[in-house]
Structure formats: structure tokens, C-alpha cells
């Protein structure tokens, strides 16, 4: 609902979540599938330096989604 209100106000938002059907059903236009419910941006199985690289990859995908024109709710992976 937060993302919807931001979008209503014209602010582009990408929502990272493991539960993509929820924001997608709510009509959030830019949804990015994240790692897991308990760690949206991370991978605890990796050493910290590598985990940070994974995190940067998520953010790059998020930034890409923000730069992409969408016509209807889309889920990015």
C-alpha cells in the first residue's frame, strides 16, 4: 500500500520482496523478486565481501527497473 501511494503521487518506486504476488496483486507496477523473506538483500551463505557484491547486483536490477517504462504491474527478476 505504501508503494501504491508513492506511485499515485508520481514517485517511481521498485519494491523488492520475496513475496512478489502480494504487491503484484495490489497493483504495484515495479516489483523485483528478492532473495528471501528473512533477508531481502543478501545471501548469508556467502562471505561478507561476496554477499555485498550480491547486494549490489540486486540494487543494479532495482535501478534498472526504475529506468524502465512499464504499462502494467510487472515483476522483475
Site residues, other proteins (CB under 8 A): 1-19, 23, 25-30, 34, 37-42, 44, 48, 51-52, 55-56, 58-60, 62-63, 66-73
- Alpha-carbon gap, residue 55 to 1, rounded angstroms: 25
27: phi > 0 → left, psi -120 to 50 → alpha, else beta; which? left
**Nearest residue (CB) to other proteins, 67 versus 77:** 67
Nearest approach in angstroms of CB 2 to other proteins is 4
Nearest approach in angstroms of CB 5 to other proteins is 3
39: phi > 0 → left, psi -120 to 50 → alpha, else beta; which? beta
* Cα–Cα nearest to 57, from 68, 42, 75, 38: 42
Nearest approach in angstroms of CB 77 to other proteins is 16
Amino acid at each position: 500500500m505504501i508503494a501504491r501511494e508513492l506511485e499515485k503521487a508520481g514517485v517511481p518506486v521498485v519494491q523488492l520482496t520475496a513475496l512478489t504476488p502480494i504487491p503484484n496483486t495490489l497493483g504495484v507496477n515495479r516489483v523485483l523478486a528478492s532473495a528471501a523473506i528473512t533477508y531481502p538483500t543478501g545471501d548469508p551463505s556467502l562471505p561478507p565481501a561476496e554477499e555485498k557484491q550480491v547486494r549490489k547486483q540486486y540494487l543494479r536490477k532495482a535501478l534498472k527497473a526504475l529506468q524502465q517504462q512499464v504499462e502494467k504491474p510487472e515483476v522483475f527478476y
